[in-house]
Amino acid sequence: MSSSFTTLLSSLPALAEAAVHGGAEGGAHAAPPAKHEVSAKAQSFFSDSHHWAAFLTNSVFVAALVTVIFLWFFRSAMKKPTLIPGKRQNLVELIVDFLYNQVANIVGPKVAISAFPLLATIFIYVTISNWVGLLPGVGTIGFTHHSSGLAGLFATSHIETPLLRPATADMNLTFGLAFCALISWFYITIREVGLGGFLAHTFTPPSMIKGGLRAGLFIIFIMVGIIEIISIAFRPMTLSLRLYGNVFAGENLLHTAGSLVHTGYAAVDFLSSVIIPIPFYFLEILVGVLQGMVFALLCAVFIKLSTGHDEGHEAEEHAHH
């Protein structure tokens, strides 16, 4: 994601030449600006002839890397917990305690036991994946056919296949997360209220409505239930598109900000590519957290809506007894 990192590496020879010749000749023969385009899809490390390995893309590589780091950190921090926690154990306990309280406040203490592993994993994984896309070299170091030998295997200019791409910039991963969240939502819902309770909640009026009014509203609620089922089917697409669109837009924003100035003077171009994107990096750090929070929050709300509809009726019965 960092265009300034690429500019630094590719401009070192030009900086040395400018120091000898004063930079005047470099300004007179300015090279055409390089294109900083971001591919809308993940790119495979292998050619089309290797169909069996086409799944190994730069986004899949980063997704696996984030997963390994994620599991290693949490398992190593909690492998031998102590009464007086160390720094890593203290950090993990702080994160888990904070997230669990937030989940319990949304879905309730009873459902939080089942929903917390899903929601906490989604939030942490999406946030880390988004932040990995801000590291220097992500999207700006990779493979090219413009050079041969080692330079073609590890290049910083004319890149055709970046070595690293944010995992959440791949529609396959965001849709996979959303689909897994939908399956987990359905499992938690059926476990808490049963299939009959889910259908009754979706297609029948609330239990507080009695008598002839309840019978008259049945047709309306059946139509509303059909619309609700359609909206549930579209949840994976809306969740995945929201996350993918924001991350991909952030990639393009940083690349564009880092390549706005092309004067032909390597020093000026390098300083511009470093200074201009700085405000956008702080924005993307915030966006990375917000997107993980929004994804997990929407999943929590979906679980709450499908499992908490009988709380008022249970409270009424409890007060009656």
- Say if residue 28's pLDDT is above 50: no
Highest mean pLDDT out of 20-29, 221-230, 247-256, 304-313: 221-230
Q: Could you give the count of Cα atoms lying within 13 Å of 166 in the half-sphere of its Cβ? A: 33
Residues 236 and 244: their CA atoms lie apart, in Å, by 12
User: Which pLDDT score is estimated for 319?
Assistant: 40
Residue-wise pLDDT tens digits, 162-186: 778 888 888 889 999 999 999 999 9
Q: What is the mean pLDDT of the chain?
A: 77
Least confident of 23-32, 98-107, 180-189: 23-32
Residues 6+ apart with CB under 8 A from 187: none
- What predicted TM-score, i.e. pTM, was given to this entire model? 0.76
CA distances from 198 to 123, 301, 302 (A): 26, 15, 13
- Say if residue 115's pLDDT is above 90: yes
Backbone φ, ψ for residue 163 (5° rounding): -70, -35
- Say if residue 290's pLDDT is above 90: yes
- Say if residue 313's pLDDT is above 60: no
